[in-house]
Structure 1
Amino acid sequence: MGSAYSYDTKAGKRWEARYRKPDGKPARKGGFMRKRDAEAYLTTVESAKLQGAYIAPGESRITIGDLGAAWLITHKTAVKPSTFHSDESAWRVWVEPAWGARQVGSIRHTEVAAWVAKLSAIRKPTTVKRCHGVLAAIFDGAVRDRRLQSNPAREVKTPRKIPKSRPYLTHQQVERLARESLYPDVVRFLAYTGLRWGEATALSVADIDPSRRRLNITKNAVAVNGHVVLGTPKNHERRTVLYPRFFDRAMQGAIANKRPDELVFPANEGGYLRPGNSKSGWFEGASKRARKTDATAAAEERARGEALRAVMPRITPHDLRHTAASLAISAGANVKAVQRMLGHKSAAMTLDTYADLFDDDLGDVATALDRQRSFALQR
């Protein structure tokens, strides 16, 4: 237990609480008007020390700017380059300007909630969640370092991300898109294997086993700030994926006369293949031409009074991964097989992501139950 000592000031007599911190170093806090106030403070200090909740008064004076700079250094080694790039951008553009000069102990929960609400009015939910996540992670570090007792950024509601409807292409649409494309085999490959763009473009000849049609997914090529960075697949999980028989000839052509370390699907000019600009790149160009072809054909069919073909939806390279899931499920693949193909952490994640593709299964279950009931009652 510490002790209270008096001292004189121009404003009169004051009291100071002297005690030892958990590490044994001496500490003091002055300015108390009465001795019993200093002693009450000492009681709270001793109680906090016993409970392991003691925080030195000076520890919470460090700024968010100082903590954020330190957090970025360790965070960079803990996440993938693409994730770090997004988090660093969120810190630099939104978090640091708003909170950098503030002492960590001065920030209240309501202030963070108000900031999130203000940010939600001008930015998309994804950006808001990332910015809030960065600030909350910095506070988490402050709590672990015993600068704060609790994190004022936790339990702050962030805007919900409204899931977008996924375009699923038919076999015919995949083929039309491929024929309009500068890289037709890449389009077909993505639509029938479900690989992520970075996984497909990182494949080297050594990753291919053409005799068994197997792909060993061990790498991921991601564009970060204009440069391609080679890393591990998402969640660092390696997996094996099979490609269908019809792709044998294309795969043989893609790996012929290449060294084991050469890319299977390089850009025509060399290096890692990229989808190009989302408005004028080669993939978007192929998509536009396919949609135009479909729209023209549909107009002609309407004029003849015939059934209209489905017009190609707007689509991105990642949407071909959704198409692969759709085609696999419609072909009878079970959830576990689709999970392994896509590299999801669990079958539950696959079901949550593609619940809409299993609607027909509900009808099958109802039909089977009806059939079984009729059979049982007839007996």
Structure 2
Amino acid sequence: MGIRKLDWAVTYSAVSGKRLRHEYETEAKARQFAEVQTSRARELGLQLPAVSKLRSRRWEVGYQDPQGKWKTKRVGTKEQAEEFHKDQTRSVRSGSYVDPKLAAGMTVAQLYGVWIARIETVGATGRRPATPKTVQGYEWLYRRMIEPYWGQFPLSNITYAGVAEWTQSMKGVDGRIAGLDTRARASKQFSRMLDHGVGVRVLAANPAKDASGARDYVPLTKTARKPVYLTRPQLERLAACSGRHELLVRFTGLTGLRWGEVTALVIGDLDLGPKPYVSVSKGLLRSQRSAGLGRDQGS
């Protein structure tokens, strides 16, 4: 691996006529290359090369990836070059190397497509798919809060400071600063998407987290109230006071089914034989319940 300062450039023509450029650390090397290209240009009738001094110094970092292939990256300052050199050295030696070009070639929108597909098929933990309601919530946060700002960003352009600024100034659908809960949920989802980028080896690290893995810019939300559960006698008294809904109250209270699961049940899901059981295989989203969809016509 190595770091070199680039001060000179040679612009020359390819056979196709396209202008190309090579950069060098010394004027002597630049002019040596220009002489070769001058002879070639005269033989082929191409535009002659030009040697110029770069207005701002550029630094180039060279290193070998785990397969031994030589890679280079150019940055604007010596400090950036040294930091990049150190990071790549550490990642190659530890076996955690990820080609930086992968992050530059993928946008946040593309990463979201990969991430949400996993959520829908095997879930975040890889054990079971997320419920339709959970997926709907993720999609809403992405379309309304994440995509308008980050959608076309290359992953390589995301910075910790940029995510922090977005989280703090995020606007809601009414154009005003979004509420604490919305900003916290959107920021956490964005970070989980970037975690997935690390998992599929598109990103070397999550740029939304600091060196310790923390995200101190996420707003604190109100502590949720501790849930209160009914005792069996309390449930029976509530059911007795529910009139024609008595059986429904007792059924939901004793089975623990969520409202979306209860409203999705059809006649075929129930077996009232010698060994009664209910088969729960789906749940209705709020929009479907409002429209009255998913009900069995014979129920």
Structure-2-length-normalised TM-score: 0.57
Structure number with the higher helix fraction is: 1
| Structure 1: distance between partners of 2:82 and 2:283 | 62
Change (3 A) 1:24 1:117: same
Please tell me whether residue 178 in structure 1 is matched to residue 229 in structure 2: no
The yes-or-no answer on 1:80 pairing with 2:131 is yes
State the shift of 1:96 in Å.
0.9
Q: Which residue of 1 aligns with 2:145?
A: 94
Residue among 152, 160, 175 paired with 2:208: 152
User: Are residues 111 and 178 of structure 1, via their aligned partners in 2, closer, same or farther at CA, if it must alter by over 3 Å?
Assistant: farther
Alignment of 1:71 with 2:115, yes or no, is: yes
Correspondence for 1:6: 25
Match of 1:211 in 2: 274
Query: Number of matched residues?
Result: 228
RMSD over aligned Cα atoms:
4.2
Structure 2 runs not aligned, ≥5 long: 5-23, 31-51, 123-129
CA positional deviation for 1:131: 1.9
Q: Tell me how far apart the structure 2 counterparts of residues 205 and 30 of structure 1 sit (CA, whole Å).
A: 65
| Aligned-partner Cα distance in 2 for 1:137–1:46 | 27
SS at match of 2:284: strand
Alpha-carbon shift at residue 135 of structure 1 (Å)? 0.4
Task: Give the structure 1 partner of residue 88 of structure 2.
Answer: 45
**Cα offset for 1:132?**
2.6
Report the CA distance between 1:91 and its aligned residue: 0.4
Structure 1 residues 19 and 112: CA distance shift in structure 2, 3 A: closer
Query: Aligned-pair distance for 1:105?
Result: 3.4
The one-letter code sitting in structure 2 at the alignment partner of 1:163 is: R
TM-score, normalising length from structure 1? 0.47
1:92 shift after superposition: 0.4
User: Given the superposition, is the C-alpha separation of residues 118 and 29 from structure 1 closer, same or farther in structure 2, using an over 3 Å criterion?
Assistant: closer
**Taking structure 1 as reference, are residues 45 and 129 closer, same or farther at Cα in structure 2, changes over 3 Å only?**
closer
User: 1:275-327 deviations in whole A, cap 9, x for unaligned?
Assistant: xxxxxxxxxxxxxxxxxxxxxxxxxxxxxxxxxxxxxxxxxxxxxxxxxxxxx
Residues 201-243 of structure 1: per-residue CA shift (max 9 Å, x gap): 426556435435x424442332264279xxxxxxxxxxxxxxx
Match of 2:41 in 1: none
Distance 1:113 1:39 in 2: 25
Aligned letter for 1:171?
A: E
User: Is residue 195 of structure 1 aligned with residue 239 of structure 2?
Assistant: no
Equivalent in the alignment of 1:132: 187
Q: 1:164 to 1:178 in 2, by over 3 A?
A: farther
Range moving further from structure 2, 101-110 or 84-93: 101-110
Within 5 Å, which residues of 2 pair with 1:210-289?
A: 210-212=273-275, 214-223=276-285, 225-226=287-288, 270=298
User: What amino acid is aligned across from residue 118 of structure 2 in structure 1?
Assistant: T
Alignment of 1:320-339 (within 5 A): none
Aligned residue identity for 1:105: S
Q: CA offsets per residue over residues 238-276 of structure 1, 9 Å max, x none?
A: xxxxxxxxxxxxxxxxxxxxxxxxx9xx67x546xxxxx
The AA in structure 1 aligned to 2:204 is: L
C-alpha distance in structure 2 between counterparts of 1:40 and 1:166, whole Å: 53
Structure 2: how far apart are the matches of 1:224 and 1:15? 56
2:45 corresponds in structure 1 to none
CA contact (8 A) 2:108 2:150 kept: yes
Per the alignment, in what secondary structure is the counterpart of residue 27 of structure 1? strand
Structure-1 separation of matches of 2:183 and 2:82: 45
Report the CA distance shift for 1:60/1:189 in structure 2 as closer, same or farther (over 3 A).
closer
